[in-house]
Structure 1
Amino acid sequence: MSSQDHETQPIIYLDHAATSFPKPPEVSQALLDALEQASANPGRGSHRMAVQASRELFQCRKTLSKLLDVHNPVDIAFTANTTVALNMAIQGYLEAGDHVISTMTEHNSVRRPLEALKRSIGIEVTYIAVDAQGEINLAEVNQAFTPRTRLLVCNHSSNLLGSILPIAELSSIAHDHGAKILVDIAQSAGHIPVYLSQWKIDMAAFPGHKGLLGPQGTGGLYIAPDMDLNPWIYGGTGSQSEEINQPNVRPDRYEAGTPNTPGIAGLQAGARYVLERSVTKIAEEEQILTQMMIKKLLNIQGVHVLGPEIGKERTGIVSFIMEHKDSAEIAFRLDREFGIAVRAGMHCTPLAHIAAGTLATGAVRASVGYRSTADDIDQLIEAIQYIDRT
């Protein structure tokens, strides 16, 4: 296949764990409308475009609140992505001498901030082991708490294994010990139901560009009403400008500077699409495709699938390795020869690879989304069978 043919062939997109694609048409339209009609600074003026910009932000908060089970929309602070949200939470809450409990399935967006604070201010971190399927021992979590434990940080679903942690139970354990819980819902928001208020979650970081179907450069941090974080960024908010300190009012306290209004308008359209289609329905459809993919991959000799065993609940992430085949080469050939987009490598979660036994090899990750089809899965399987033979 020539380079030109490769660039023009239709893409079979199975990399939704990184970024959802394609976006619903409503998202692109919302971005354009915001650029044309709301290209002013929200909260910084009373003219019609500034008011419209403020309205875009509030409508997005309202939609996200319905989708994520949040009682008050102002408890959602917009960020550029999940990584920024996690850093805001971790660095805004922890103090010198604190003890933190996390897990071996965390993304580097959790591990690296924790390790940085460990070096800089002397926090202590305990990583709870998971088995090869990504399951955690709740008794071990309970035993890890000390009088200095202030925070439990965990993901809802592993971006490598697709495993789903029992967040409600983990939240209860943390609160029983007087600690708070921060949840990374990057791989669950928009893919499976999330109940932040029902689960009594203290903080939750989410992306706009994955399951919520919004554009890149959007995301947010839910901060429970009784939580107070030290602001991560200080500056203009359009409110209480006469004060030398950052305002206490939400969401201004956590949103200094001009926001990404067009992006947030696009996120509002994506989240509304998910809400109207129903997260439960999306989850059911993705689960069918995920189990189909696992079953067919396991029929190929030499293929090993990571994460929960077939039939067990997981998000739409299926990572696998092939005997005698390099994961990076597999992903490259899938793209170049078959027009199939997947991801290979460490997936920014080395501890999860240690748990899975794949730190030395990495893994190929195929992930389904709201527009994936059975035909996409069949074409992936045919391509893997061809790569296995050649």
Structure 2
Amino acid sequence: MIYLDNAATTWPKPESVSKAMKDCLQNYGANPGRGGHQLSRMAAQTVEETRRLLAQLFHVQDPKNMIFCQNGTHAMNLALKGWLRKGDHVITTGWEHHAVARPLEAMKKDMGIQVEYIPSGTEGPVDLKRLESAVQSHTRLIVSTHASNINGVLIPIEKIGEIAKKKGVPLLVDAAQTAGMVPIDVESMGISMLAFPGHKGLLGPQGTGGLYVAPDLPLQPLIYGGTGSRSEDFQQPEERPGAFESGTLNTPGIAGLGAGIQFVLEKGINEIHRYESLLTQYLVDGLKRLEKVRVFNSEYPSVSVVSFTVDGVEPLEVAMILDEHYEIAVRAGYHCAALAHQTMGTDQHGTVRVSPGYFNTKEDLDQLFEALDEIVKAFSGL
């Protein structure tokens, strides 16, 4: 199987990831922070080491401001529901994943928040002048994805961060498609909250993720319960990170996540981004040479996500044929991002999405080109 669906979940993982998870389960599979015995301390040490690695990766000064979550969507819901209040005004973009759009739309219905979507501009994927002018006295948050999961376009977070800082409004960033693949510095980029999954560019297992929260941002917990501290008190503790990590953490998953981050740090994000950019350009060039294939690549800087369609063939059918007849895994449809498809003008049928990763090769893409050429000829009656 040639796996080209890394925008959903990266695979394969570094061997160190499964080794770390196995070591945790076999040798110290106790609850972190829920007991004074040595197994519990070992588990807690693994959790805190992964937290430290995350802080290092995102240039966070205090690791206690890194909160572990189930995934990026959980992190996004924690950020939105822990910060927004009834009647607040929120500014976001036309590129957002449902992890952003659906919670906002639900809160608009249930809490009366106002949501303003900023479209693309003539000079970039987001109209920055319109975004800045949209800020009102009751604007409480600006939310933006860092890169589209449809065509990989990179959103100018640094410039949005400058606007947010100038206007005194926190900036929440969805780093689902960039964490581990593009350098992120939360302070220099003006990011107040950063939501990310562990199973994509960080090369960890599913069921992991996290949220960075700026130290001066008074976020409310999404889930209340046991934290392993202040157990004599009925009130939720306020200290980070425990205030936001009620219940038992996914210690084996966090162990694997730590190994994935270590791999990323050792290889270097710039090197990973360079290699994936080369693959992406090779992919775009190869697709454009095929007849009846329309490529929806970004004209701006992007990550390794490319969408296309085949004239006269539904995207879902293309993906099914690639899977069943050629053993090539891609994803087709709307990719949980209706807003982005509306922005691109592909909301009628969606697209086929190809997302090569660090472990893919040009030979993998050559086989994709050959398969698509045969599919086009078959449906054209050639």
Write the mapping of 1:52-91 to structure 2, written as runs, cut at 5 A: 52-91=42-81
Q: Please report how far the alpha carbon of residue 241 of structure 1 lies from its aligned counterpart in structure 2 after TM superposition.
A: 1.3
Give SS of 1:157's match.
coil
Match of 1:337 in 2: 325
- Amino acid paired to 1:201: I
TM-score (norm 1): 0.95
Task: Give the CA deviation at 1:376.
Answer: 0.8
Tell whether the 8 Å contact from 1:133 to 1:356 is kept in structure 2 after alignment. Answer: no
DSSP 3-state at the match of 2:325: helix
Q: Is the 8 A contact 1:134 1:308 kept in 2?
A: no
- Is residue 2:324 matched to residue 1:349? no
Quickly say closer, same or farther: Cα 1:382–1:321, change in 2 above 3 A.
same
The alignment status of 1:381 with 2:369, answered yes or no, reads: yes
Aligned residue for 1:197, secondary structure, equals: coil
> 1:277-314, CA deviations, whole angstroms, 9 ceiling, x for partnerless residues?
001000000000100110111111221111313xx421
The CA deviation at 1:154 is: 0.6
Match of 1:323 among 308, 311, 323: 311
Which digits, 9 at most, give the CA deviation of each residue in 1:330-349, with x for residues without a partner?
00011111110000000011
Distance 2:305 2:160 in 1: 22
* CA gap 1:132/1:352 in 2 versus in 1, 3 angstroms: farther
Q: Partners of 2:309 and 2:183 in 1: how far apart?
A: 29
> Partner of 1:314 in structure 2?
302
Structure 1 residue 37 displacement after superposition? 1.7
Partner of 2:91, secondary structure, is strand
Contact 1:305–1:318 (CA under 8 A) maintained in structure 2: yes
In the alignment, which of 255, 258, 262 is matched to residue 272 of structure 1? 262
Partner SS, residue 388 of structure 1: helix
Q: 1:226-279: per-residue Cα shift (whole Å, max 9, x none)?
A: 111111000000111122211111100100000000000000000100110001
198-207 vs 279-288, greater mean Cα deviation: 198-207
Number of equivalences = 378
User: In structure 2, how many angstroms separate the alpha carbons of the residues matched to 1:314 and 1:64?
Assistant: 23
Match of 1:284 in 2: 274
Question: Which blocks of at least 5 consecutive residues in structure 1 are unaligned?
Answer: 1-10
Counterpart code for 2:338: P
Q: Could you say what secondary structure the match of 2:270 adopts?
A: helix
Deviations 1:159-198 (A, max 9, x none): 0120001111101111211211100000001111111122
Take 1:208 and 1:339, find their aligned partners in 2: how far apart are those partners? Answer: 26
Matched, 1:165 2:155: yes
Q: Give 2:271's aligned amino acid.
A: K
Aligned partner (choices 99, 103, 113) of residue 103 of structure 2: 113
Letter paired with 2:358: Y
Query: Could you say which residue in structure 1 is the equivalent of 2:182?
Result: 192
Percentage identity across paired residues of the two chains: 47
- Contact 1:133-1:161 at 8 Å conserved across structures: no
- 8 A contact 2:284–2:297 mirrored in 1: no
Paired with 1:99 and 1:195, the residues of 2 have a C-alpha distance of 26
**Contact residue 108 and residue 349 of structure 1 kept, 8 A:** yes
* Contact 2:164 2:190 (C-alpha < 8 Å) held by counterparts: no
Distance 1:74 1:198 in 2: 19
In structure 2, the residue matched to 1:4 is none
Q: Deviations over 1:125-161 (max 9, x none)?
A: 0001126997111101111111110100010000012
The unaligned stretches of length 5 or more in structure 2 are: none
| In structure 1, distance between residues paired with 2:357 and 2:301 | 16
1:46-92 alpha-carbon deviations (Å, 9 max, x no partner): 11100000001000011111111111111111000000000000000
Matched, 1:364 2:352: yes
SS of the equivalent of 1:183 reads strand
Q: Is the 8 Å Cα contact of residues 98 and 148 (structure 1) preserved in structure 2?
A: yes
TM-score, scaled to structure 2: 0.97
218 and 132 in structure 1: CA distance in 2 versus 1, 3 angstrom threshold: farther
Cα distance 1:375–1:131, how it changes in 2: closer, same or farther (>3 A)? farther
3-state SS, counterpart of residue 267 of structure 1: helix
Aligned-partner Cα distance in 2 for 1:317–1:186 = 12
Q: Which moved more, 1:63-72 or 1:356-365?
A: 63-72
